[in-house]
C-alpha cells in the first residue's frame, strides 16, 4: 500500500547529512507542473546559514521515514532560483485556493499530500478539510482523531499561479473549457479579484466561451472586470453576448461610458441592443431576446429545420419555430420534436399550434410568468401592440434569473469555497 506523506511534516524540519549532523532546515519542496497528472518532486529548497539552496530530489533520502537526509557529497551553494514550470508546494499552494475541476469549485489547500510511486516522489492530493489544521495544532496522534474530509486527487486540481514568478505558469484554457460557463462564472465569483482575472484571462483564449462566462456572472463582477478594459475591448466582448444580456450590462455601465461602448458595437447587434434599451428591464420587452426562429406560412418542415440550423438565436430560443404571416405577426408555433417527427415536405403551418398565446413588451415580469406557467411554455412570443408584429421571445431561463433574488448563489452556498 502506498504511504501518503504530508507536506506540513517536512516544512521547517532539520535536514541531516550522511553522518547524522544537522546542516540546515527544509524551506520548501519543489514540484514541476506539466503534462503529468501528479506533478513530480524535483528537489528541496534547504535553508543553510541564511541562504536558500536547491538540492535535487535524487540527493534526498529519508522522506518515507520523516527524517530528511542529504545523500550527496556537497551542497551547491548557489542561491535557489525557480525555473519555468516549477512550483513551491508550501509557498505557492499551501493555504491557497485551488480549482477542483471535477466539481467546478474552489478548495482551500490545507494540506498537500505526496507519495512515492514507481520510485518517483509525486504530488498526489490536496486535503481541503480541517484535519490538517488540527494535526498541526494538536499533534499527529490527536489530529488523526478529527474526521477526515475527502482528499482531492491532484489530477483534478488546477492551481492559481499568477503570483508565481514564471510567465509560463498559467491556468490552461483546455482544462477550464471542460466546465460549463455557469460553473466557470461561479469560480470567478468565489475567487479573489486577482484569481478571477486569471480565470477570465484563461477563458479569453476562446472569445465565445469568454462571452458565455460573462453572461453568467452577476452584475457586480461583470462591471468589475469591464473597468479594466477599453471601450473597444468592452464592445468586442459585448458583441459576442446575447443581445438581451448585452443590453442589461450596458444599462449598468457608467453613464459617461455607456454611449461610447454602445457605438462601438457592430451592426446589427447595436440595433438590437438599442431596441432593447428602450424597454424597462423588468418588462417583457426588457427580458426578451430579439433573436428567434421563424418561417413564413408556406414553409415546409425541411425549410424550418434548415432555418434552425442556420439560426444565430440562443439555444434556449430554439425550442419552438414560429410561423409568421406577411405582416410579421405570429399565427402559429411548432416544437422541434414535432418538426423532427414530421415529413420534410409537409407544410409547417399544417402541424403548427395555432391557438397561440403571447405578451406585449410593456407587460411586467409577473404577468409574463403567469402566462408561461398557465400555458406550460419555455418560449413565449412578444408582439408589438400597434403593428402586431413579433419582435422577440422571452425564454424560461431569463424569467427564472429575474425572479431569483440577487446573490442567491452565494446565499445558498453555491459560490462558497469548499473547506
3-state secondary structure the chain: CCCCEEHHHCCCCEEECCCCCEEEEEEEEEEECCCCCCCEEEEEEEEECCEEEEEEHHHEECHHHCCEEECCCCCCCCECCCCCCEEEHHHHHCCCEEEECCCCEEEECCEEEEEEECCEEEEEEEECCCHHHHHHHHCHHHHCCCCCCCCEEHHHEEECCCCCCCCCCCCCHHHHCCCCHHHHHHHHHHCCHHHHHHHHHHHCCCHHHHHHHHHHCCHHHHHHHHCCCCHHHHHHHHCCCCHHHHHHHHCCCCHHHHHHHHHHCCCCHHHHHHHHHCCCCCEHHHHCECCCCEEECCCEHHHHHHHHHHCCCCHHHHHEEEEECCCCCEEEEEEHHHHHHCCCCCEHHHHCECCCCCECCCCEHHHHHHHHHHCCCCEEEEECCCCCCEEEEEEHHHHHHHHCCCCHHHHCCCCCCEC
Among residues 162, 181, 199, the one where a domain terminates is 162
pLDDT digit string (tens) for 200-222? 989 998 999 999 999 999 889 99
Query: Per-residue confidence at 167, pLDDT binned at 50, 70, 90?
Result: very low
pLDDT of residue 72: 82
CA angle 106–158–220, rounded 5-degree value: 45
The β-bridge relationship of strands 294-296 and 320-324 is parallel
What would the mean pLDDT of 353-359 be, rounded to a whole number? 93
pLDDT of residue 161: 75
In this structure, the answer to whether residues 158 and 299 fall within a common structural domain is no
pLDDT of residue 131: 67
Answer yes or no: is 408 within a domain: no
Among residues 162, 182, 207, the one where a domain terminates is 162
Answer yes or no: is 22 within a domain: yes
362 in the Ramachandran plot: left (φ > 0), alpha (ψ -120 to 50) or beta?
A: alpha
Q: Is the predicted pLDDT of residue 16 greater than 70, yes or no? A: yes
In this structure, the answer to whether residues 4 and 151 fall within a common structural domain is yes
Answer yes or no: is 124 within a domain: yes
pLDDT of residue 188: 93
Contact 2, 138 (CB under 8 A): no
Answer yes or no: is 229 within a domain: no
Q: Is the predicted pLDDT of residue 164 greater than 80, yes or no? A: no
Contact 25, 110 (CB under 8 A): no
Answer yes or no: is 265 within a domain: no
Q: Is the predicted pLDDT of residue 407 greater than 80, yes or no? A: no
Q: Across the chain, what does the average pLDDT equal?
A: 88
pLDDT digit string (tens) for 32-90? 988 888 999 999 999 998 899 999 999 998 887 778 899 887 888 788 888 888 999 99
pLDDT of residue 145: 44
Q: Is the pTM of this model over 0.85?
A: no
User: Which comes out higher in pLDDT, residue 118 or 146?
Assistant: 118
Among residues 162, 179, 198, the one where a domain terminates is 162
Query: Per-residue confidence at 265, pLDDT binned at 50, 70, 90?
Result: very high
Q: Is the predicted pLDDT of residue 415 greater than 80, yes or no? A: no
pLDDT of residue 143: 44
Q: Is the predicted pLDDT of residue 270 greater than 90, yes or no? A: yes
pLDDT of residue 113: 94
Answer yes or no: is 244 within a domain: no
Answer yes or no: is 27 within a domain: yes
pLDDT of residue 140: 52
In this structure, the answer to whether residues 11 and 150 fall within a common structural domain is yes
Taken as a whole, the chain contains a residue count of 419
Range of the domain at 323: 288-402
Answer yes or no: is 238 within a domain: no
pLDDT of residue 278: 94
Take residue 250 and report the three cell numbers written for it: 450596458
pLDDT of residue 146: 45
Whichever domain contains 316, its CATH number is: 3.10.580.10
**Domains held by the chain: number:** 2
Out of 121-135, 254-268, 379-393, pick the least confident: 121-135
pLDDT digit string (tens) for 365-406? 999 999 999 999 999 999 999 999 999 999 998 898 888 776
CA-wise closest residue to 245 among 311, 317, 174, 294: 317
Whichever domain contains 51, its CATH number is: 2.30.30.240
Contact 379, 404 (CB under 8 A): no
pLDDT digit string (tens) for 306-334? 999 999 898 889 999 999 999 999 999 99
Q: Is the predicted pLDDT of residue 417 greater than 80, yes or no? A: no
pLDDT of residue 133: 62
Amino acid at each position: 500500500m502506498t504511504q501518503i506523506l504530508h507536506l506540513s511534516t517536512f516544512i521547517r524540519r532539520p535536514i541531516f547529512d550522511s553522518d547524522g549532523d544537522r546542516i540546515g532546515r527544509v524551506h520548501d519542496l519543489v514540484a514541476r507542473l506539466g503534462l503529468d497528472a501528479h506533478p513530480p518532486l524535483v528537489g528541496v529548497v534547504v535553508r543553510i546559514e541564511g541562504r536558500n539552496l536547491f538540492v535535487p530530489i535524487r540527493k534526498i533520502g529519508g522522506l518515507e521515514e520523516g527524517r530528511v537526509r542529504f545523500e550527496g557529497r556537497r551542497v551547491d551553494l548557489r542561491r535557489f532560483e525557480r525555473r519555468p514550470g516549477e512550483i513551491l508546494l508550501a509557498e505557492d499552494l499551501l493555504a491557497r485556493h485551488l480549482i477542483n475541476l471535477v466539481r467546478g469549485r474552489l478548495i482551500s489547500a490545507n494540506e498537500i499530500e505526496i507519495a512515492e510511486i514507481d520510485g518517483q516522489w509525486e504530488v498526489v492530493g490536496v486535503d481541503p478539510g480541517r484535519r490538517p489544521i488540527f494535526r498541526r495544532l494538536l499533534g499527529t496522534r490527536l489530529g488523526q482523531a478529527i474526521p477526515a474530509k475527502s482528499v482531492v486527487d491532484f489530477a483534478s486540481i488546477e492551481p492559481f499561479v499568477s503570483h508565481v514568478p514564471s510567465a509560463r505558469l498559467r491556468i490552461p484554457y483546455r482544462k477550464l473549457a471542460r466546465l460549463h460557463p455557469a460553473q466557470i462564472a461561479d469560480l470567478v465569483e468565489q475567487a479573489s479579484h486577482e484569481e478571477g482575472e486569471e480565470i477570465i484571462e484563461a477563458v479569453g483564449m476562446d472569445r465565445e466561451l469568454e462571452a458565455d462566462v460573462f453572461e453568467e456572472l452577476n452584475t457586480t463582477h461583470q462591471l468589475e472586470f469591464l473597468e479594466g478594459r477599453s471601450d473597444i475591448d468592452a464592445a468586442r466582448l459585448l458583441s459576442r453576448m446575447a443581445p438581451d444580456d448585452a443590453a442589461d450590462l450596458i444599462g449598468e455601465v457608467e453613464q459617461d461610458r455607456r454611449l461610447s461602448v454602445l457605438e462601438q458595437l457592430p451592426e446589427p447587434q447595436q440595433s438590437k441592443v438599442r431596441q432593447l434599451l428602450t424597454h424597462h428591464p423588468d418588462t417583457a420587452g426588457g427580458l426578451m431576446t430579439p433573436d428567434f426562429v421563424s418561417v413564413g406560412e408556406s414553409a415546409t418542415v425541411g425549410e424550418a429545420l434548415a432555418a434552425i440550423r442556420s439560426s444565430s438565436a440562443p439555444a434556449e430560443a430554439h425550442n419552438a419555430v414560429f410561423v409568421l404571416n406577411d405582416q410579421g405577426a405570429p399565427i402559429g408555433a411548432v416544437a422541434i420534436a414535432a418538426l423532427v417527427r414530421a415529413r420534410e415536405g409537409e407544410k409547417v403551418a399544417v402541424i403548427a399550434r395555432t391557438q397561440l398565446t403571447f405578451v406585449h413588451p410593456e407587460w411586467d415580469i409577473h404577468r409574463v410568468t403567469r402566462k408561461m406557467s398557465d400555458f406550460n411554455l419555455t418560449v413565449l412570443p412578444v408582439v408589438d401592440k400597434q403593428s402586431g408584429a413579433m419582435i422577440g421571445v422571452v425564454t424560461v431561463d431569463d424569467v427564472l434569473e429575474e425572479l431569483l433574488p440577487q446573490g442567491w448563489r452565494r446565499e445558498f452556498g453555491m459560490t462558497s469555497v469548499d473547506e
